[in-house]
Structure 1
Amino acid sequence: MSIVIDIVFETPPTLPAAASIIIGVAFPQRVKMSDVARTAGVSVATVSKVVNGRYGVAAATVERVQQVISQLGYEASLGAQSLRSHRTNVLGILVAEFEPFSTELLKGASKEVAGTGYQLLAYSSGDGGGTSIGWERRSLARLSGTLIDGAVIVTPTVVETKQDFHVVAVDPHTGPSGLPTIDSDNFAGAVLATNYLLSLGHRRIGHLSGRPDLESARLREAGFRKAMADAGVAVDERLVRVGGFRVESAEAPAFELLSLPDRPTAVFAGNDLSAISTMDVARGMGLSVPDDLSVIGFDNVPESALVNPPLTTITQPLQRMGAEALRLLVDLIAGVERSTHIRLPTELVVRSSCRPFPPPPRASLPLTVRPT
């Protein structure tokens, strides 16, 4: 079957006039059942029987109606389908906003949905950053019952749900609880990142953490502190700042870190976006990455490989997380018994944003004396 991914915004984005014209061209007027009936030369009731798989229609007529449905691109209304069967065969992916993390998860889910008999509805609450507590409850209330049969919620602020259908949470703010969850080993990944910097000789290592209300941020900071303690290196608390997991929120704390008289020689940023922000701030201050400052991130979003220099990071298997969440949701709806908490491993991806400290002496260039 074909895969349909609808992107729904709770608050429609502002578009220029030209964009609205393009969208109008891309999405023509919806084909109605009456259009199918008129083209096929049958009654609307006959088309309804064919669409819903009911008896009483000749095989030749069924074939003709199905051909017209295919030609016209007719799709039954999700609301009407739900009223008839109490099922829509649509699964929701609910996010606070579409950004690199959630987009990678969506890619994985969209691949996994093939062959399941379901279609995918991606829905943004319009809450930038997911800071509004309970955004997922409001989104579920709007979609459940008539539009979706179950939902994958990305980084929900509240994991309890009173909905009468299945929900899977990806990287919930509060960590695993009563809901089926998918996450990665944030603690082990942070230990890996910090140990890598320590292995390069760094001791003044700064940490730009995520939001303190996020379990993933707390685990990454805990992993950083554990690795430092195991190495016998005291954490200078002046080098630990809240970066917030966003480019704009990381700028000020990154500047504060790099403005210290005894600034860090390396920074472990809580995610790739704050790492990229740190690199931008360093560049604006006349510092070179990695010559003057080593930077390591977390997530391995596509942007991490595109910056200059390419960012060394900890990879979360984001697309696999999205695929696992979708598969778990499908299995739960089907009544398949399986583990409802899946934790995936993290790995180090070495690129070009880190170097040993102190840096090796630059080789002197031999002098060439031209004969006079």
Structure 2
Amino acid sequence: MYKKKRSITIQDVAQTAGVSVSTVSRVLNGKVDVARETQDRINGVIEELGYTSNLAARSMRSQKKNLIGLIMPDIAYPFAIEVMKGVNRAIAESEFDLLVYTTGDVRKSGRASAEQKYVSLLTHSISDGVIIVAPVVAEFNSDEPIVSIDPVMSNPSYPSVHATNYQGAIDAMEYLFSLGHKHIGYIGGRLELESANRRLLGYQDSLAKAGLPIDQTLIKSGDYTTLSGITCSRQLLEQPNRPTAIFASNDQSAMGVIQVAEEMGLRIPEDLSLIGFDNIPESKYLGLTTVDQFIFEMGYTATQMLIKIINNIPLDDQTYRMQTRLVIRSSCRKIGG
């Protein structure tokens, strides 16, 4: 009589390899936080025993796809890279895998339709939920949960992670005031985003509180790119009464200011003080004083929020506000100092 051979289970692999079932699962899911030696031992046992993991069956049993989607602008942007690092860390600590879609250049006109398309694709057939970075769409038609980072409005219809952009801008301006600066230029970001509007408001309110006029010739509209930082800083620094300091609404814009200042023979900070916003890794090497909005932590926190929602765990709050911190380096100087 034919006797059906017992299938090899993940428990068999764990026992033979001398590790836990969760460690085997992490290796099967491609997690990077398992020691190479342990990975090699587990993979050797898998091959020896002929174990195969039926992911489709597992997904059908649990009614979960064990996949999270990440929709973000072009990954060439430092902000997006740091967000993805945070998301990856949270994914490595979970049972989920990650699928990334990019909507391309932050300035292109078709981003809204691309966001809608990818959200529809991911939430209707592929993933258990989606994280979307700096969306330009206010609402999405989705069957699955969505968490946004730096959304288009302060209180979107879905859970979100924001930095305290307004307070961060005030901290930057008060630091410049403490150094004696009163004639301060500002380079803004993408005005469809809540972050850009809150930073601009912080700049304006700080001037008003200090009893200083809001001079529109000192406010230039950028788009969070180095190129716009170059264009805007040139407009500011070519004025007859150029500013003594510039507050750039992100570090990439500040990098544009550095390029133009060098072209014009202006020294930072001797001739021009400069503050950015983000604290991307490059800012440290440039000696840029900036406002840290803890981008890595934003990605990590958004992923944890989404996983809680997927697992039917209530969130403490629909909106998480990441506290900013002024990081003082060498790009600012006291007037006459």
TM above 0.5: yes
In structure 1, what is the equivalent of residue 308 of structure 2?
331
Alignment of 1:126-145 (within 5 A): 126-129=104-107, 131=109, 132-145=111-124
In structure 2, what is the equivalent of residue 70 of structure 1?
46
In structure 1, what is the equivalent of residue 291 of structure 2?
314
Q: Is the 8 A contact 1:96 1:135 kept in 2?
A: no
CA distance in 1 between counterparts of 2:123 and 2:54 reads 15
| Structure with larger Rg | 1
TM value normalised by structure 1: 0.75
CA distance in 2 between counterparts of 1:236 and 1:76 reads 64
Alignment of 1:14-163 (within 5 A): 70-71=46-47, 86-98=63-75, 99-129=77-107, 131=109, 132-163=111-142
CA distance in 2 between counterparts of 1:214 and 1:288 reads 32
In structure 2, what is the equivalent of residue 247 of structure 1?
226
- Structure 1 vs Structure 2 CA RMSD: 2.9
1:76-132 deviation line (CA, Å, top 9, x unaligned):
687786567542211122102112111111111222233322122232233444652
Distance of aligned partners of 1:199 and 1:78 in 2 relative to their CA distance in 1, 3 Å threshold: farther
Give unmatched runs, 5+ long, in structure 1. 1-42, 54-58, 361-372
Q: Is the 8 A contact 2:150 2:193 kept in 1?
A: no
Distance of aligned partners of 1:104 and 1:121 in 2 relative to their CA distance in 1, 3 Å threshold: same
Q: Offset at 1:296? A: 0.2
Seq. identity, %: 36
1:54-84 deviation line (CA, Å, top 9, x unaligned):
xxxxx79x979x9778349988687786567
Q: How many aligned positions are there?
A: 306
Q: Does 1:342 align with 2:315?
A: no
CA distance in 1 between counterparts of 2:125 and 2:16 reads 29
* Alignment partner of 2:163 out of 184, 187, 210: 184
Q: Is the 8 A contact 1:149 1:165 kept in 2?
A: yes
Q: Is the 8 A contact 2:107 2:223 kept in 1?
A: no
* Alignment partner of 1:211 out of 160, 171, 190: 190
TM value normalised by structure 2: 0.82
Give the SS at the match of 2:299. helix
Q: Offset at 1:290? A: 0.6
Q: Offset at 1:139? A: 1.0
Q: Offset at 1:298? A: 0.3
Q: Is the 8 A contact 1:242 1:250 kept in 2?
A: no
Q: Does 1:265 align with 2:241?
A: no
Q: Is the 8 A contact 2:184 2:245 kept in 1?
A: yes
Give the SS at the match of 2:99. strand
Q: Offset at 1:146? A: 3.6
